């Protein structure tokens, strides 16, 4: 899928035309996946463009590299200013997706990556709407398992980690599903390839714990906080595969996916086959928050203009 990228990108501290952003074929990240990234959304509400939970994204951005001693050679403020700056430079006045990433650069084929390894950082952006059908999608559990701390850190948003997501997605698509669900090494539910998962049972909002190899998602955290603020019973606990089938509701959360209902799991209808009441409530709350219609959460928004 060719992205409708904005005219300018940010590369190592400068705004340049995207066609001028070039890297050598000996870039380490191309060979070994030594790249760190974030997916960030900004929402246009007709008056301003608001970046959602920017500070939290930047914190995770830096932390992901620390797992591998890969340095982000820019301060948090420089990164934050660059993210809002790329929106200003491109005069973006519509909801968009922003992709900041940094990576080990011209380092050859040396596997001994240290803090002295050269790194580069770049940011691009593009207009973005719904990733999935908000009326609901189908999903199925795949045979591939989510990797765990026994092999590589699940909390690092590394490029190489997402090969696991790619092969899971390929299997799900071959099986006729819109999205995959991965189990952890214990056989419990972990997450989707690029999203966290929530189920609703008897009014309880339940999501797998981080010990299931689920990413500590920022949208996941958002829904947990919203649920608690609404006095819902929110639990982080192991979820078995069988529990998916008997759930009253299921939905995915993620920066790209936002809040996406699952209406069929492993070819079995969930609930009445439509987004449930709690799912719809979460979708409404999330939309109000990112569009700056809920003052209680305005601290999560960074205005661009």
- Tell me which of 94, 134, 157, 281 is the catalytic residue: 157
C-alpha 192, offset from chain centre: 11
91 contacts: CB under 8 Å, gap ≥ 6: none
- Please tell me the total number of residues recorded for the chain in this structure: 305
Quote the radius of gyration of the chain (alpha carbons, Å): 19
* Strand ranges for the chain from DSSP E: 8-11, 14-17, 35-37, 40-44, 49-52, 96-104, 119-127, 137-145, 179-183, 189-191, 196-201, 204-207, 233-236, 249-254, 258-265, 268-269, 301-303
Cα–Cα distance between 53 and 51 in angstroms, integer?
7
User: How far apart are alpha carbons 68 and 222 in whole angstroms?
Assistant: 27
Angle, vertex CA 132, rays to CA 293 and CA 210, nearest 5: 80
Strands 204-207 and 196-201, by their bridges, are: antiparallel
Instruction: For residue 236, count CB atoms less than 10 angstroms from its CB and return exposed for 0-12, middle for 13-18, buried for 19 or more.
Output: middle
Contact between 155 and 210 (Cβ < 8 Å):
yes
Q: Which two tokens stand for residue 21?
A: 């952003």
Quick one: three-class SS letters along 25-67?
A: CCEHHHHHCCEEECCEEEEECCCCEEEECHHHHHHHHHHHHHC
Q: Is 173 a known active-site residue? A: no
Which residues are catalytic, by number?
157
């Amino acid at each position: 899928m060719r992205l409708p990228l904005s005219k300018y990108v940010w590369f190592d501290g400068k705004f340049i035309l995207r066609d001028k952003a070039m890297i050598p074929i000996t870039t380490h990240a191309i060979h070994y996946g030594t790249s760190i990234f974030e997916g960030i959304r900004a929402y246009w509400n007709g008056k301003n463009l608001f970046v959602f939970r920017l500070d939290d994204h930047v914190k995770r951005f830096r932390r992901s590299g620390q797992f591998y001693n890969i340095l982000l050679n820019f301060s948090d403020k420089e990164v934050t200013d660059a993210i809002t700056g790329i929106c200003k430079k491109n005069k973006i006045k519509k909801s968009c997706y922003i992709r900041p990433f940094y990576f080990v650069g011209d380092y050859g084929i040396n596997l001994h990556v240290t803090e002295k390894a050269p790194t580069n950082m770049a940011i691009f952006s593009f207009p973005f709407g719904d990733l999935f059908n908000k009326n609901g999608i189908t999903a199925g559990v795949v045979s591939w398992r989510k990797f765990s701390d026994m092999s590589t850190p699940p909390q690092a948003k590394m490029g190489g980690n997402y090969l696991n997501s790619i092969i899971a997605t390929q299997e799900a698509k071959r099986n006729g599903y819109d999205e995959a669900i991965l189990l952890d090494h214990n056989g419990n539910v972990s997450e989707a390839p690029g999203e966290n998962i929530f189920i609703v049972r008897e009014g309880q909002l339940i999501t797998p714990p981080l010990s299931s190899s689920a990413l500590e998602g920022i949208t996941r955290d958002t829904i947990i906080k919203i649920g608690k603020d609404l006095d819902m019973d929110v639990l982080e606990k192991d979820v078995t595969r069988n529990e998916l089938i008997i759930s009253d509701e299921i939905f995915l959360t993620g920066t790209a996916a936002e809040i996406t209902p699952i209406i069929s799991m492993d070819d079995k209808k969930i609930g009445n086959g439509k987004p449930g009441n709690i799912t719809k409530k979460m979708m409404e709350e999330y939309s109000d928050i990112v569009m700056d219609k809920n003052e209680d959460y305005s601290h999560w928004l960074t205005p661009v203009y």
